C-alpha cells in the first residue's frame, strides 16, 4: 500500500503538466484533441507515431506546436522520391585544410522529427529512418552516435494518393507504436478556424514543459501499476486477432490474414500506462486499454483479400474483438 501511495503521489506530481500542455497547444490547433492526446501518449510511452490523414488537417502544424510547447529540438523532413539516406543521417566530409574527415550530422539528430509524407521516399531511405527509430543510434563513417532523449519520429502519409509513393512494408509499419487516423474538424471547429484566420490569427505557443520533465514523466509512466488481470486482458485481445475461433469469433477467420505481433501486446501495455498517467491515475483500467487499442492494433492486423473485397476496415475487426474478449 505504501508503494501505491508513493506511485500515486509521483503520478499526481509528474502528470500536472499534461493538461497545461494540451491547453497550450490548443491555442494554435482548433479541435484534433484525440490526435494531440495520441501524440502525447507516444512521447510518454517512448514510441513513434504514424499520422494518416488527408492534406490540410493540421498534422504538420500540430507537431510543430507540440515541439514549441515542449521546448524540444524539432526538424521537419519532406520526403521525396530523390531523397537519399545521407539526407537524413548526415555524412562525413573531408576537410582539406585540416587534412581530416569531419562529421556533418543530419536532421535526425533532433528530439522531434516530422517525416512528412514518409511513403514518398524509396525503401533505402525508409529503412535508414526506421533503423534509427529502432536502434536509437546512427553510424557515420567509423563513429556511432547515440540519439538524444527523447527521440520521437512522427511520420505522416496520405491515405488516398498512391501515384509516386512507396508503401511502407508491414514489418516496418509495425515499429510505430501508434497509427493515428486524423479526421476532419466538426462544423463548429471549422467555423472557429475561419474566424481565427479572418481575424488576428492563432495565438503563439509558449514552452510549458521541458526535456527534463518529459524524461521524468517517462520513468513515472513505467511505474504505473498494471494488475495481472489487465496483462492477461491485453494478451487475450492480441491472441484473439491470431486465433479468433478460440474466442468464439468464427466470422473473423476469413477476414484476418495475419494477426497482431507481440509488439502489439507490449504497445498496448505501454500506451495504456501513458493514458492512465495523463488521466492522473497510478493504475491501469480496462478502459485505458480500450482507449488505445485501435491506434495500437490497426496497423498490426493484416486483413485478407476477402475483407478488402467486402471493404471491411481493420477498425471493425478490432471492435468485434474488443466486444468479445471478457473484460476483467
pLDDT digits (tens, 9 = 90+) for 66-78: 888 888 888 888 8
Identify which has the larger pLDDT, 67 or 237: 237
Share of the chain above pLDDT 70, in %: 95
Q: Can you tell me the mean pLDDT for 172-184?
A: 85
- What confidence score (pLDDT) does residue 204 get? 76
- Residue 254: CB partners within 8 Å, gap ≥ 6? 304, 306, 307
Average pLDDT over residues 248-259: 86
Q: What is the DSSP letter of 225?
A: B
Asked if 238 contacts 268 with a C-beta cutoff of 8 angstroms, the reply is yes
pLDDT digits (tens, 9 = 90+) for 276-300: 999 989 999 999 999 999 999 998 8
Asked if the peptide bond before residue 150 counts as cis, ω within 30 degrees of 0, the response is yes
Looking at residue 322, what is its pLDDT? Answer: 92
- Reduced to 3 states (helix: H, G, I; strand: E, B; else coil), residue 41 is helix
Rama region for 45: left / alpha / beta (φ>0; ψ in -120 to 50; rest): alpha
Q: Is 88 helix (H, G, I), strand (E, B) or coil?
A: helix
Buried b (16+ CB within 10 A) or exposed e, 50-72: bbbbeeebbbbebbbbbbbbbbb
| Overall average pLDDT of the 53-82 stretch | 82
Give dist(CA 290, CA 181) in Å, integer.
Answer: 16
What does the domain layout of the chain look like in residue ranges?
Answer: 2-212, 226-324
- pLDDT computed for residue 271 by the predictor: 95
Q: Pick from 31-45, 76-90, 156-170, 262-276 the range whose average pLDDT is largest.
A: 262-276
End-to-end CA distance of the chain: 22
Per-residue pLDDT, 123: 78
In whole angstroms, what is the distance from residue 138 CA to residue 38 CA? 27
DSSP letter assigned to residue 283:
B
**Cα–Cα distance for residue pair 40/177, rounded to 1 Å:** 12
Distance CA 117, CA 52 (A): 9
Query: Cα separations (Å) of 21 from 30, 33, 269?
Result: 14, 12, 23
**What is the C-alpha to C-alpha distance for residues 242 and 257, in angstroms, rounded to an integer?**
9
321 vs 27, more confident: 321
Write down the pLDDT at residue 309: 85
Is the Cα torsion angle 242, 119, 36, 175 positive or negative in sign?
A: positive
Judged against a pLDDT cut of 90, whether residue 206 lies above it is answered with no
Residues 6+ apart with CB under 8 A from 292: 41, 178, 268, 271, 272, 274, 275
Q: What is the pLDDT of residue 41?
A: 93
Given a contact cutoff of 8 angstroms between Cβ atoms, the answer to whether 90 and 106 are in contact is yes
Helix/strand/coil for 202: coil
> Which CATH superfamily does the domain covering 226-324 fall into?
Magnesium chelatase subunit I, C-Terminal domain (1.10.8.80)
Q: What is the band of 220 on the pLDDT scale with cuts at 50, 70, 90?
A: very high
Q: Is the pLDDT of residue 17 over 70?
A: yes
The pLDDT value given to residue 291: 93
Q: How many helices (H) and strands (E) does the chain have?
A: 14, 11
Average pLDDT over residues 87-116: 81
Contacts of 302 (CB under 8 A, 6+ apart): 170, 256, 257, 258
Average pLDDT, rounded, for the chain: 84
CATH code, residues 2-212: 3.40.50.300
Phi, psi dihedrals of residue 313, rounded to the nearest 5°: -75, 160
Q: Residue 99: pLDDT above 80?
A: no
Same fold, 2-212 and 226-324: no
Amino acid at each position: 500500500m505504501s508503494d501505491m501511495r508513493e506511485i500515486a503521489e509521483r503520478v499526481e506530481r509528474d502528470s500536472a503538466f499534461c493538461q497545461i500542455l494540451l491547453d497550450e497547444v490548443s491555442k494554435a490547433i482548433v479541435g484534433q484533441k484525440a490526435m494531440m492526446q495520441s501524440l502525447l501518449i507516444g512521447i510518454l510511452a517512448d514510441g513513434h507515431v504514424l499520422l494518416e490523414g488527408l492534406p490540410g488537417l493540421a498534422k504538420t502544424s500540430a507537431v510543430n506546436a507540440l515541439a514549441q510547447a515542449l521546448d524540444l529540438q524539432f526538424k521537419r523532413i519532406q520526403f521525396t522520391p530523390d531523397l537519399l539516406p545521407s539526407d537524413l543521417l548526415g555524412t562525413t566530409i573531408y576537410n582539406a585544410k585540416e587534412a581530416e574527415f569531419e562529421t556533418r550530422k543530419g536532421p535526425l539528430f533532433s528530439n522531434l522529427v516530422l517525416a512528412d509524407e514518409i511513403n514518398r521516399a524509396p525503401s533505402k531511405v525508409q529503412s535508414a529512418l526506421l533503423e534509427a527509430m529502432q536502434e536509437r543510434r546512427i553510424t557515420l563513417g567509423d563513429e556511432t552516435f547515440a540519439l538524444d532523449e527523447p527521440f520521437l519520429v512522427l511520420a505522416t502519409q496520405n491515405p488516398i494518393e498512391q501515384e509516386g509513393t512507396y508503401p511502407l512494408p508491414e514489418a516496418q509499419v509495425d515499429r510505430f507504436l501508434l497509427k493515428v487516423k486524423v479526421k476532419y474538424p466538426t462544423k463548429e471547429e471549422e467555423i472557429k478556424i475561419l474566424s481565427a484566420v479572418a481575424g488576428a490569427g492563432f495565438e503563439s505557443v509558449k514552452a510549458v514543459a521541458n526535456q527534463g520533465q518529459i524524461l521524468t514523466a517517462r520513468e513515472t509512466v513505467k511505474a504505473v501499476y498494471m494488475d495481472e488481470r489487465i496483462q492477461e486482458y491485453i494478451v487475450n485481445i492480441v491472441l484473439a486477432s491470431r486465433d479468433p475461433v478460440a474466442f468464439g469469433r468464427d466470422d473473423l477467420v476469413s477476414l484476418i490474414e495475419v494477426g497482431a505481433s507481440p509488439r502489439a501486446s507490449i504497445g498496448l501495455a505501454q500506451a495504456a500506462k501513458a493514458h492512465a498517467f495523463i488521466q492522473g491515475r497510478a493504475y491501469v483500467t480496462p478502459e485505458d486499454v480500450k482507449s488505445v487499442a485501435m491506434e495500437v492494433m490497426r496497423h498490426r492486423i493484416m486483413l485478407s483479400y476477402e475483407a478488402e473485397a467486402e471493404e471491411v476496415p481493420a477498425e471493425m475487426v478490432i471492435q468485434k474483438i474488443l466486444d468479445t474478449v471478457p473484460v476483467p
